[in-house]
Chain A
Amino acid sequence: MKRFFDSELETFRSDLLRMGEVSIRQVREAIKALVEGDIGLADQVIAADDELDELEKRIDTEAIRYMNLRAPIATELRLVIVGMKASHDLERVGDEATSIAKRAIRLAAEPPLKPYVDIPRMAAIAIEMLRDALECFVHADKEKAIAVVKRDKEVDAINKQLYRELSSYMVETPSTTTRALELMFISKSLERIADHATNIAEEMVFLYEAQDIRHEESLKKFGKVD
């Protein structure tokens, strides 16, 4: 039976999807600004972060109001809680994109250290993970969510590889240190973005399956789960 307050959750869901769209765009444009040395685009990314901050606050306010006044249970309660957590993850994705945009502005003032290959590749994977995680939200697709979680390792591996590579630049040519450090931080930001996408995917499994799949590998190591 449809209730008069059902539309409130529809708004809540569409706010979360809007956050997803904006954060993906922010990451894509921050990387584009870096690769093309486009300071104007980087500035746009920095300015657009406010929308994510506002959406995060709106989602939290609505979640608290909904829990107070509508007393949700089961899937509905999980939706409200997962919505709050996922919006926090997406807001952090936005912060990382802003950080990349700021570094892109500084890097644009100097010649590129090396052709940008690995960073755009890493960004492409992180963006795909984010998109897949949001698709899990729309289509309740558990298998896709688990695939997102598994892909996190790919991004971690590129980050480690870049760390080694950029460290050798700094050792071999100390004048590259500033640029190498900026790139290291950008790589770390992308690695964090993939972590947030992983969190969102795990949250969606909890939303639709009521199953907590976080930290399963580390818990297995300590014999806490089968």
Chain B
Amino acid sequence: MDTPAATPASRTFNVPATASAADGAQTLIEIDSFDFYYGAKQALFDINLRLADKRVTAFIGPSGCGKSTLLRCLNRMNDLIDGTSVKRGNVKIRGIDIYGRDVDSIELRKRVGMVFQKSNPFPKSIYENITYGLRIQGVKSKARLDEVVEKSLRGAALWDEVKDRLHESGLGLSGGQQQRLCIARTIAVEPEVILMDEPCSALDPIATAKVEELIHELKKQFTIIIVTHSMQQAARCSDQTAFFYMGKLVEFGETRDIFMNPKNPQTEAYVSGRFG
């Protein structure tokens, strides 16, 4: 039995990772019988899903299918919207119910970071963008902050491009660089999970390719869930794919199966661009 309610959230979400990065098969996120509402309107219906640790999962489906809603449920971003509610079911990360009464959503969001469709660097320097989260956490040591800045920017494949202008504004970077800066900012606080909501939809093909390369690198360290409208991106970047339609999970499986031999005719129609 899981007893998350009795444990302070700040401790529960600092449980060290137990799965080895190589096996890729251990379940990290369990979603069971999950119903979600925007006011009276039900947006997600009975979602059941198991997401593996250190793998990339793509959420695909036509607009309004609930994929972004579910993504945002994974770090309780929807709490910030009035009238939203979970009427049934739960989401567990490492066995902990993230909707448990004692879970601190701020703490949760440190463990489950997010990268948005439109890059949103703070109107501060590149350096401060990366260190912002750590400073809030009370980290003051310059040596430590310098180290995290370099590590995060290297991790986001941006270091070589910005190392000589760390104290210039993050807003002076190109769109693709800004998005990688946001990824660097996300990984600076060392989350377990990175949620990406259409991270390349505002980027040109080269910047998109760079972010995709980055996703391929990041999955060695992080569990990644990406919402995308690009079938090619889902096919290229993800290990597993979940197809949603009208708030329901239609099909979930290994990406190669979903794209090469989907079981559901609706999935096939969608991945081949015939509806949605």
Contact = CB atoms under 8 A, between A and B. Distances in A.
Given A3-B212, A68-B259, A71-B232, 16 more contacts: A1-B209, A3-B209, A3-B213, A4-B212, A4-B213, A4-B216, A5-B236, A64-B260, A65-B256, A65-B260, A69-B236, A69-B255, A69-B256, A69-B260, A70-B235, A71-B236
Interface in B224-276: 232, 235-236, 255-256, 259-260
Interface in B131-190: none
Contacts of B256: 65, 68-69
Contact of B235 (A3, A4, A69): A69
A69 to B, nearest CB: 4
Contacts, number: 28
Interface residues of B, number: 13
A71 B209 contact: no
B219 to A, nearest CB: 10
A3 B235 CA distance: 14
Contacts of B232: 71
Contacts of B236: 5, 69-71
Interface of B: 206, 209-210, 212-213, 216, 232, 235-236, 255-256, 259-260
Interface of A: 1, 3-5, 64-65, 68-71
Contacts of A64: 260
Contacts of A69: 235-236, 255-256, 259-260
26 contacts: A1-B206, A1-B209, A1-B210, A3-B212, A3-B213, A4-B212, A4-B213, A4-B216, A5-B236, A64-B260, A65-B256, A65-B260, A68-B235, A68-B256, A68-B259, A68-B260, A69-B235, A69-B255, A69-B256, A69-B259, A69-B260, A70-B235, A70-B236, A71-B232, A71-B235, A71-B236
Contacts of A70: 235-236
A69 B257 CA distance: 10
Contacts of B206: 1
A64 B257 CA distance: 12
B269 to A, nearest CB: 16
B133 to A, nearest CB: 28
Contacts of B216: 4
Nearest to A64: B260
B194 to A, nearest CB: 17
Nearest to B231: A71
A68 B256 CA distance: 8
B32 to A, nearest CB: 30
A177 to B, nearest CB: 52
A1 B206 CA distance: 8
A70 B259 CA distance: 11
Contacts of A5: 236
A152 B236 CA distance: 42
A1 B209 CA distance: 9
A220 B192 CA distance: 66
Contacts of A65: 256, 260
9 A-B pairs with the lowest CB-CB distances in the bound complex, closest first: A69-B235, A4-B216, A71-B232, A68-B260, A68-B259, A4-B213, A69-B259, A1-B209, A70-B236
